[in-house]
Structure 1
Amino acid sequence: MEVGKLTESLEGEKAVLVGVIVQNQSEEEANDHIDELEFLARTAGAITQKKFMQKLQMVNSKTFLGTGKIQEVKKYVVENEIDMVIFDDELSPAQLRNIERLLEVKILDRSNLILDIFASRAQTSHAKTQVELAQYQYLLPRLTNMWTHLDKQKGGIGMRGPGERQIETDRRIIKDRITLLKKKLIDIDKQKTVQRGNRGQLVRAALVGYTNVGKSTIMNALSKSDVFAENKLFATLDTTVRKVVIENLPFLLTDTVGFIRKLPHQLVESFKSTLDEVREADLLIHVVDISHPNFEDHYRVVNETLAEIDKTEKPTILVFNKIDAYQYVKQDEDDLSPKTKENYTLEELKKQWMTKMDNSKCIFISAEEKTNFEELKHVIYDEVKTVFQIRYPYNNLLYKDNYE
C-alpha cells in the first residue's frame, strides 16, 4: 500500500463539485461553501468544470444526493469525460462506496481534498508526520473501498477469502503505523516544549485567522523575514517563529496554520501540537480578510476553533486586512429596504466593529500596500508592553537591557 498522499496528483484533472443546501442554511451561504471548495480544488491543481447543488431536508444516507440528482451528475460525468467528483461534505464509508459504484470515477470529499493539499504543502518532518497520521485515521474506516475491484470478478473458490484477508492485513498495518506516528509526535512535542521553554521571558504573540487572509504577508513585513506567502489556501502549514523588535521592544511572533470551515477532525487532532503555539501565546493577532463577502462567518469559525483549542481568554488584536481590495455596492437612494453587509462602506464597517471591540484593539490595514502599518505596529507595541508589565512588574525598567 502506498504511504503518503491518499490521492494521486490532481494536476490538470477535470472535476465536478457537488454541494447541498440543508435546513437552516441560506442559498447564499451554500454557494459560498461550494465556491470555497472550488478554491480548494484549484489549490490542489484540479480544473472545475461544473457545480451541482441540491436543496434537501437531509442528505441521503446511501448516496448523499437524491436519486434524480445523482443521475444528473452521472450523465454530465459521462458526456464530458470528467475525471473526478468532489463533494463539499465528508462522505461516510458507505456513501463513498455507493457513489463510486454509481459514477465509476474518482470520488473525493472535502476532508480528503484538504488532506491532499496538506500533504503537498507539508515541508518539515513535524508537519509531514502530522499529515500522515491524519491521512491514516481518515483511511482506516474506508479500506473496503480499496478492494471494490474484487466486486467485478466472478465468484468462485478462492475469490472472496484473499480479499478479506488483505483488508485485515492492511487494517493491521495502518493501526500499527498510527501507533508509531503518535509516538513519534509525542517525541517531537517534547522537543517543541523544550524549545518553547528556552525562549526565555519574551512575550509571545501569535497570528491566527482563516486561511488565505494574509497572515504570512504580515509576518514578513513585521519580522523582515521570507515566510512563504501565496494566494492559495494553506500556503503555511509549518509554524514559523520570529523575533520581532518594535521601538526597541522585542517579542516572539508566530505564524500559524490557517483555519477553515469543516476542517477534518483528523487534522485538528493531529495538529494539536502545532496549535500549542496558540495555546501558549500571550497575545493573539486575529487577522480577517475584510474584502471577502463572508468575512463575518470566517471570523466566527476562527473564534469557535480557538475556543476548542484553548478555553482561556487572551488579549486579542483584531486586524482587518486587504482594505485595498474591499468593494461595496452603493444602495439606491429610493431603496428603503434595510442595508445588507455589501452596502456598507469601509468607514461604516470601521465604526461598527470599533463599537463592538475596544477601539485600541481593532485596526484596518492593507499588508500588501502597507496601509496603516505603522498604526498596527503601535497597537502591537502597546499590547506587548502591557503583557510584559503585568507579568514582570519589577523588571520593566530592565526590559531593554535584558533583551536587546
Structure 2
Amino acid sequence: MSLSLENAAQVARYPAAAPYVRLNAAAGAVTLEPGALTTDGAHIAAFDSDVSATRRIDCAGAAIVPGFVDCHTHLPFAGWRAEEYAMKVAGRPYEEIASAGGGIASSARAFAETSDDDVLVQARTLAREMLAHGTTSFETKSGYGLSVEAERRALRLAAALAAEVPQTVRSTALLAHAVPPGMTADAWLDAIAPVAAEGDVTALDIYVESVAFDLQHLARMGDLARANGRDLRAHVEQFSTMRSVPVALKHGARSVDHLACLHPDDLGPLAAAECAAVLLPGAELLGDEQVAPGRALADAGAIGVIATDCNPGTSPITSLPLIAGLAVRRYGWTPREALIAMTLNAAWVLRLHDDLGSLEVGKRADVVILDAPLEHLPYRFGHNPVAIVIAGGEVVHVREDQAWRLG
C-alpha cells in the first residue's frame, strides 16, 4: 500500500540522520512548513504528494509529525492503585505508603494473583489507548514480579504483548524495582542476575531510592548490563537526592529517568553526556509534586526526553500529548522541544533512532496526523489532537470525527 498525505499546514522535519537533538538546538533543528508526504509500503518515500497512491489523505489544517515513542512505561501490570492516590492527595508520602505494604509491593501482589490472560487483556487495552494518542512505539518493563520466576513471567508476557500490537515494542528488565520481603538487596541481585542474559531484552533497569536500592547496587547493575550487552537505565532522584547521576554516567547509562530531585552539581555533567535525561511529568503531578529542572536541562543541552511512565501507582497515564502539555507548562519547554523529546530522542533511548523517530526518506512510516498545527498540542490541554495514526505504512487508527480525511 502507498499513502499520499497531502496539503498539510505543517510537516515536521528534523536534521537528516541525526541520532538525537540536544534541546538547546531544537529551535533551529525542527522546521514546520506546509507540505506533503508519501509512503511506499512500510517506509517513507518522498516529501510530496502522489496522485497514484493507493490512498490519499487530506491533511488540510493539520500537522504531520513522527509517530510518538513512549520510552518509559511499566506495561504489563495488573490492576490499579487508586486508593493510594487518595492517600497522596491527603498528604501521605510515598515512602510511608510503600512501608505499609503499598506501592510496588501492592502491584506485585496484584500481578501474582492475576492470570496471564487477564494481564494481557489489560495491557492490550492500554496499548490501544496509547495508539489512539499517537504512540507508535513503546517500552515495556518487568519489575512487578518480586521473584525470579515472576520476573521471567513478566518478560514473557511483555513479549506476548509485543507480538500482538501494531506498535514497535522494546523490552526492559527492571530487575531491581523493589527488594522482596525477607531478602536483602544484595541477595536479590544475586538471585535475579541470571535473568539479565535471558529473553529479548535490550536494557536493564534499577530503582535507586531510599525505599529501594542504593548507589552500590546501581554500580552493580551497570556491571551486569555491560557483561550481558544490555543498556543500563535507571530510575533516579525521584523522591530524594541520592547523587545517582555520577554513578550512572560512570557506568555508561543510556538514560537516567525522573530527576525531580536532581542535585544542581549533577545537571551540567548530565547535560554534556551522551545519556538521555528522561523526564516524567505525569509522575511528578500525581506523585510527589516535585518538578524536574526541565528548562535548565534543556538550556544546558541535554538529550531531553519525556515519557508517560504509565504505571498503576504514580502515573496511570497513556497519552503522550497530555505529557507534552505538562512539559510545556511545568518545564517551560516549547512545543518543538516537547515534540523532539517524545519522538527522535525517545527513539534514541530505545535504540530505534535509525529506523524511526523522525520523518526521513527510507525510515519506517510511523506517522501521526494532528488535527491542528503543533502549537495546539500543549495548548488544548486534555484534548486528544491525534486525528490519524500510521504505523509501518498502515493506517491503524482514525479518530471518528476525522474519517473525512481519508480518500
Larger radius of gyration: 1
Q: TM > 0.5 between the two?
A: no
Q: Larger relative contact order (C-alpha < 8 A, sep ≥ 6)?
A: 2
Q: Give the TM-score taking structure 2 as reference length.
A: 0.30
Q: Give the TM-score taking structure 1 as reference length.
A: 0.30
Identify, as 1 or 2, the structure richer in helix. Answer: 1
Identify, as 1 or 2, the structure richer in strand. Answer: 2
